Amino acid sequence: MSSTPRDPLMLDAAAYVLGALPAAEHKRFEQHTEVCRSCQHAVCELSAVTDLLRLAPREAIMAWLAERPAGSEP
């Protein structure tokens, strides 16, 4: 990836969705998403992905990761 996000808070979206942000940052990001459409969109997309990951059996994910050729990108 050669492009950098214009919104530095968008980098927090993944950690926010995973519940990995410290409480203060979680609250700050939540307030930010109320006014930032880009971050709202990022949270929606990432939530869909994490929901799917929760549905997938852990063994299937580990097998897929093990079989995937190193360095392959979609």
Contact residues toward Zn ion (CB under 5 A) are 7, 9, 36, 38-39
CB of 39 to Zn ion, least distance (A): 3
Q: What's the token pair of residue 6?
A: 């214009």
Cβ neighbors of 19 (< 8 A, separation 6 or more) are 26
**CA triple 55-61-62, angle to 5 deg:** 145
* Closer residue to Zn ion, CB minimum distance, 41 or 64: 41
CB of 30 to Zn ion, least distance (A): 11
CB of 8 to Zn ion, least distance (A): 8
